[in-house]
């Protein structure tokens, strides 16, 4: 492995690592994806804190383990994996282009620390907390786990008196935010390519994806034929940007296609979403009493939030938590929100698509019979893409012909296999019933909504008769 061990407990731009270190004298953990991961003492200063150890109690895939029993891996092991791959990527670039890039020990340690801490700001139940719960209680808020990660970095350094220079912390925080607002503001920054290793806002290829795609696939028992090692061995920097061999474009496409498959089959699985919607509702009902949202702006409080909040709700005797507790009990007994049906938004309508709401469905109900209420219906608007929205991700990637080349270029669509997709985003509208006896009524209203909106009935499932008859 390329990573080296550093016994110095502080980061310094002027520090030069000895030419060789014996990895046997580093602390190491054995990871089921990457093998031995070696930890320098400075990184242990961050790992051995209650804020980082909290990641052990955050499942990487939220509630997916309720459908895929093996998906119980945590943000902790993912963060160690990204730390390791970030160091490997930086070392390989340094080895391949030692003189022209000027990568030093300080650069490598900074990239590794960004990889280690990039997910430190995640809330309970993975993206459910950020995308399903918070938008309903913090209307108009721009809260994101990346921004919270930046706050948590400062908090850990201050709280635990970690000796680390301010320039390192500044760069680490910028690398964590590199997939968002910083992506377009550093184009002239020295060694800009280093900021693309952990969270790549320029083209979406980063070691964060390398780790979670392989790790999630393995945990869920799914095959994964994407080999990130090939890309790490052959990448090189041209014009301050990490570029890839033109002959590897299909490997890169496989990266994005595998990610999309995981979204379709795991992350947005219809039953996984049903359970997540129930957990979100439970958090909403418990929010006032547990003051959950009071934790989300202050790092000294935020680190106390993790997946164990579901057990707190489930076991607390407080009457104020009864509604939330009943929802958790329903999940335990597999009395889930019932999937009614779904349809894929026609390709020509995706650009101007507006999220469908429960109000849209109940307004499409024909008169007579049971009168639906908004609280009876849940709508999930699912977006699945290749990481660049409606655009081909390969358009943002720069390639080179061979290792002697100094020219980088894009590969246009007409030069790519005609077997690859011509559309890069799916929009799927799913509707759930909170009460089993309303499945048939809600399904009919959903059909009416489609006919009214698109003039067609494009559902892919027939509503099961047993659900229609259920009382």
CB 122 within 8 A of CB 75: yes
Determine contact, residues 191/107, Cβ cutoff 8 Å. yes
Report d(CA 410, CA 78) in Å as an integer: 31
145, 155, 253, 269: the active-site residue: 145
Q: Residues 410, 395: contact at Cβ < 8 Å?
A: yes
Reduced to 3 states (helix: H, G, I; strand: E, B; else coil), residue 444 is helix
- Can you give the pLDDT of all 471 residues of the chain as single tens digits? 444 564 444 555 444 443 345 666 678 899 999 999 999 889 999 999 999 999 999 999 999 999 999 999 999 999 999 999 999 999 999 999 877 899 999 999 999 999 999 999 999 998 999 999 999 999 888 899 999 999 999 999 999 999 999 999 999 999 999 987 544 455 557 899 999 999 998 999 999 999 999 999 999 999 888 999 999 999 999 999 999 999 998 899 899 999 999 999 999 999 999 999 999 999 999 999 999 999 999 999 999 999 999 999 999 999 999 999 999 999 999 999 999 999 999 888 888 899 999 999 999 998 777 899 999 999 999 999 877 777 788 888 999 999 888 899 998 776 666 556 667 889 999 999 999 999 999 999 999 999 988 877 655 566 555 554 443
Neighbours of 160 (CB within 10 A): 14
Q: Can you read off the two tokens belonging to residue 438? A: 């309303």
Tokens of 309: 């909040």
Helical spans, DSSP H, in 13-144: 41-47, 50-53, 75-96, 98-101, 105-117, 127-128, 134-137
In the beta sheet, which residues pair with residue 433? Answer: 338, 377
* Structural domains of the chain, ranges and CATH numbers in brackets: 23-261 (1.10.3210.10), 337-386+426-471 (3.30.70.2760)
CA distance 365 to 353: 21
Neighbour tally for 465: CB within 10 Å: 9
Identify whether 145 is a catalytic site residue: yes
Question: Which are the contacts of 83, defined by CB distance < 8 A and separation ≥ 6?
Answer: 37, 43, 112, 113, 115, 116
Number of H helices, E strands in the chain: 19, 8
What is the per-residue pLDDT for 19?
A: 35
Calpha distance 146→259 (Å, rounded): 20
- What pLDDT does 359 receive? 96
User: If 0-12 CB within 10 Å is exposed, 13-18 middle and 19+ buried, where does residue 94 land?
Assistant: middle
CA angle 21–23–27, rounded 5-degree value: 125
Instruction: Report d(CA 157, CA 236) in Å as an integer.
Output: 33
Q: How many Cα atoms within 13 Å fall on the side-chain side of residue 76?
A: 20
Distance CA 126, CA 130 (A): 8
């Amino acid at each position: 492995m390329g990573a080296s061990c550093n016994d110095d407990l502080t980061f310094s731009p002027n520090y030069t690592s000895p030419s060789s270190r014996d990895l046997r004298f580093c602390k190491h953990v054995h990871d089921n994806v990457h093998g031995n991961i070696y930890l320098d003492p400075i990184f242990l200063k961050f790992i051995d804190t209650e804020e980082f150890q909290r990641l052990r109690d955050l499942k990487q895939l939220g509630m997916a383990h309720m459908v895929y029993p093996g998906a119980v891996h945590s943000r902790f092991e993912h963060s160690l994996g990204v730390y390791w791959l970030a160091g490997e990527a930086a070392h390989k670039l340094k080895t391949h282009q030692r003189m022209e890039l000027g990568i030093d020990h300080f650069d490598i340690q900074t990239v590794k620390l960004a990889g280690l801490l990039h997910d430190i700001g995640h809330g309970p139940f993975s993206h459910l907390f950020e995308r399903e719960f918070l938008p309903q209680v913090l209307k108009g808020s721009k809260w994101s786990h990346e921004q919270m990660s930046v706050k948590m970095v400062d908090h850990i350094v201050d709280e635990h008196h970690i000796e680390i220079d301010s320039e390192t912390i500044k760069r680490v925080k910028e690398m964590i935010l590199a997939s968002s607002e910083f992506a377009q503001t550093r184009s002239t920054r020295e060694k800009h390519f280093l900021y693309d290793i952990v969270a790549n806002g320029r083209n979406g290829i980063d070691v964060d994806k390398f780790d979670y795609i392989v790790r999630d696939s393995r945990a869920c028992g799914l095959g994964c034929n994407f080999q990130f090692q090939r890309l790490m061995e052959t990448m090189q920097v041209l014009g301050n940007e990490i570029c890839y061999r033109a002959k590897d474009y299909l490997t890169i496409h496989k990266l994005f296609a595998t990610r999309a498959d995981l979204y379709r089959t795991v992350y947005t699985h219809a039953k996984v979403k049903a359970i997540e919607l129930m957990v979100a509702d439970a958090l909403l009902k418990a929010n006032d009493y547990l003051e959950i949202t009071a934790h989300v702006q202050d790092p000294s409080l935020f680190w106390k939030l993790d997946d164990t909040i579901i057990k707190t709700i489930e076991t607390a005797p407080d009457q104020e938590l009864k509604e939330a507790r009943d929802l958790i009990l329903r999940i335990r007994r597999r009395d889930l929100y019932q999937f009614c049906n779904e349809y894929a938004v026609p390709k020509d309508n995706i650009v101007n698509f507006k999220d469908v709401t429960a109000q849209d469905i109940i307004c499409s109900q024909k008169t007579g019979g049971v009168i639906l209420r908004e609280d009876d219906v849940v709508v999930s608007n699912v977006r699945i893409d290749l990481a660049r929205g409606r655009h081909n991700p390969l358009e943002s990637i720069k390639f080179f012909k061979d290792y002697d080349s100094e020219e980088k270029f894009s590969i246009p669509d007409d030069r790519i296999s005609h077997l690859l997709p011509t559309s890069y985003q799916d929009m799927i509208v799913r509707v759930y019933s909170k009460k089993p006896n309303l499945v048939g009524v809600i399904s009919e209203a959903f059909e009416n909504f489609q006919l009214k909106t698109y003039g067609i009935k494009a559902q892919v499932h027939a509503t099961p008769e047993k659900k229609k008859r259920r009382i």
